[in-house]
Amino acid sequence: MKFPRRLKPTTLRLGLAGCLLIGGSAIGLTTSAASAWERTELGCRFEGHEPMIHYTVDDLTPYHQRAATTAANLWNETDAPGSFIKVDSTVQTLDVKFTYTDDPDAPAMITQYPCGNDVFYDWPVRIVINRTTPWFYERTERELAMLMAHELGHAYGLDHTYDTGASCATGTPSIMQQGTAKFSCQGDGPFADDVAGVKAIYAVDN
């Protein structure tokens, strides 16, 4: 089985292209008291076995709002446990917030990992799009949705897929692979291996 290899939240954080996963950001340091995120033997996940993850796209342009909503719906159409629920940004139970950065030194996309060093950090988790990055604007709407589905995979608790054999060419694609190779896969993902990974994460007891 492939999925345990990417259930290692204490390992690599730096993306090769298109995504940087940040763990333990010092921004907004909080305790676990109000957090919906929890640690299990398989790493950091949203609490419980059927995660209802409330997200907002209110900060984004309509074009990016559409891609982010498509990404959430792609996950919701799978039989991965729980679902992503779009809400207004003022909702108290907001868990994931799509937003922008204009920092030219920042990567194209960042997901702030919700757990780090046994302390829970930013909540809501922020998925940050670097709108100064030309690479980002060269993406089609389908590719944008796939990238955002990758980021939502992080919000679920998935790490990157490091198995170089996991590709559409070998019949085992993964939305959690970094880079652009996944764009040539048939279908938009999330793929079977991604769904299996989420099922594994939420099957265990805390």
Where does this chain bind Zn ion (CB under 5 A)?
Answer: 19, 21
Kindly state the smallest distance separating residue 31's Cβ from Zn ion, in Å: 26
Q: Which is nearer to Zn ion, 91 or 163 (CB)?
A: 163
- Write down the least CB distance from residue 19 to Zn ion, Å: 3
d(CA 93, CA 87): 9
Of 14 and 30, nearer to Zn ion (C-beta) is: 14
Nearer to Zn ion, 57 or 108 (CB): 108
Question: Which is nearer to Zn ion, 13 or 91 (by Cβ)?
Answer: 13
Dihedral sign, Cα of residue 57, residue 64, residue 128, residue 45: positive
The residue at minimum Cβ distance from Zn ion is 19
CB-CB contact of 189 with 173 (8 Å): yes
Closest CA to 57 of 89, 84, 82, 85: 89
Closest CA to 78 of 196, 205, 200: 196
H-assigned helices in the chain? 62-76, 134-137, 141-156, 192-203
Least distance between Zn ion and beta carbon 6 (Å): 10
* Smallest gap from residue 79 Cβ to Zn ion (A): 23
